[in-house]
Amino acid sequence: MIVLWPFLLPAAAWSGWYVAQKQNTKKEYLQGQHITREYVLGLNYLLNEQPDKAVDIFIKLLEVDNDTVETHLALGSLFRRRGEVERAIRIHQNIIARPQLSLAQRKEALFALGQDYLSAGLFDRSEKVFLEVVELGGSQEKQSLHGLLTIYQQEKAWEKAIEVVKKLDMVLGQKSDVVASQYYCEIAEQALKHQQIEKAYQSIRQALHYDTKSVRANLLFAQMEAYHQRYRNAIKALRLITRNDPDFTPEVIEPIVEAYQKLDDWDECIDFMHHLIIEQPRTSAIFVIADHLKEQRGLEDAIDFVSSQLSRYPSIRGLNKLISWHLESAHGKVRQQLEMLSAITLKFLDKKPIYRCEHCGFSGKLLHWNCPSCKQWGRIKPINGLEGA
């Protein structure tokens, strides 16, 4: 008799393993088929504008298959971009609730939830989530810090914004001195509104520490010094602006003239205006000299001066000034024609912006230190040239 059991035992073991594998494969296949059908059903709900039913299906699937986390993150982001923030929040909250999430998946889901809250205007919740992501570190830290900056700028929480900028600089290995300076200027303006003079001075000094050439900080400093009748200090700060950023010269002409008037020093004022139109011709500086000439020597000398400057540095505002002066002595048909020209130039100027963002091209008649369009700080400047001041 041939003994076969030593050979049958391994064969039986192999057979059992094979049958089990077939059963498991079939089970996985059926489960996969079920998941596929559920996904198709969920997508069908989406296509038929039944998003709540779709969300229910996808959340149910998330509980079955951990491998679909990325898909659900993308789905939540899709809802947020479509403006359906509540559904995005629900999906991302359910992802975070999963105990089997990896740390990377958890951070990604938390960041997505923070974005949801931010889109919904729930700043307190968004801040809390972004702070948690920053604490965890990783690839979402930088984006979360930017999210916090958005929140603090909206809430005008400038001290918090400064701390975030410092943290962001450490993460990115950069220096955001211009932005930090702008934040300190915001604090200074808030302090001035509440008559907190010392705090305003401290904030302006901090702003100038971060950006010594800051136009805004020097304007604020000049304003403070003029208020305290320290006009020489105010003039010094304003003249510094004309050297550091000549584009802003039109903004400082009026306060410089006022400071010189307080000092009763017209000679130095006119000398400085002559210096300006040689170095960086500006219509507003030409007007100061012309008005002074009109008062001291008469209208004809003022007209001759403006005419000579217009031939070198043409501007619509200068032309309108010249027309208005000629109107003072015009009569009859000539006066009618000059009035028509004056109306045309004024209408043209009325439609034109005064300021423009160097970064995105946004333009308007008000000076914004933070561009309403691209959100860049300190990029909006006065428009110069033919249409400028």
> Encoding tokens for residue 370?
């933070």
Is 134:167 a contact under the CB 8 Å cutoff? yes
Q: Which residues contact 256 (CB under 8 A, 6 or more apart)?
A: 235, 238, 239, 269, 272
Rg (C-alpha) for the chain, rounded Å, is: 35
Say yes or no: 346 and 357 in one domain: no
Domain presence at residue 313: yes
Domain presence at residue 70: yes
Say yes or no: 156 and 68 in one domain: yes
Say yes or no: 92 and 111 in one domain: yes
Per-residue model confidence (pLDDT) at position 68: 75
**What's the predicted TM-score (pTM) here?**
0.79
Domain end residue (candidates: 151, 174, 197): 174
Say yes or no: 256 and 146 in one domain: no
Domain presence at residue 22: no
Say yes or no: 170 and 109 in one domain: yes
pLDDT per residue as tens digits for the range 277-290: 998 888 999 999 99
**Over 80: is that where the pLDDT of 387 sits?**
no
Higher pLDDT, 126 or 335: 126
Say yes or no: 50 and 162 in one domain: yes
Return d(Cα 75, Cα 63) in angstroms, integer.
15
What is the number of domains present in the chain? 4
Say yes or no: 191 and 307 in one domain: no
Say yes or no: 53 and 114 in one domain: yes
Say yes or no: 356 and 346 in one domain: no
Say yes or no: 233 and 293 in one domain: no
In 3D, which of 361, 69, 110, 379 has the Cα closest to residue 245?
A: 379
**Which stretch of 48-62, 94-108, 181-195 has the lowest confidence by average pLDDT?**
48-62
Q: Which residues contact 327 (CB under 8 A, 6 or more apart)?
A: 335, 338, 339, 342
Return d(Cα 322, Cα 233) in angstroms, integer.
34
In this structure, the dihedral spanned by the alpha carbons of residues 342, 343, 348 and 350, taken in order and rounded to 10 degrees, is 110
Mean local confidence (pLDDT), 145-156: 96
Domain end residue (candidates: 210, 244, 263): 263
Say yes or no: 218 and 191 in one domain: yes
Is 384:355 a contact under the CB 8 Å cutoff? no
The boundaries of the domain holding residue 365 are 352-388
Find the CATH number of the domain harbouring 100: 1.25.40.10
Per-residue model confidence (pLDDT) at position 52: 55
Domain presence at residue 44: yes
Say yes or no: 170 and 180 in one domain: no
In 3D, which of 348, 289, 279 has the Cα closest to residue 319?
A: 348
**Which stretch of 56-65, 117-126, 183-192, 353-362 has the lowest confidence by average pLDDT?**
56-65
Amino acid at 59: I
Domain end residue (candidates: 201, 228, 263): 263
**Over 90: is that where the pLDDT of 174 sits?**
no
Domain presence at residue 9: no
Domain presence at residue 379: yes
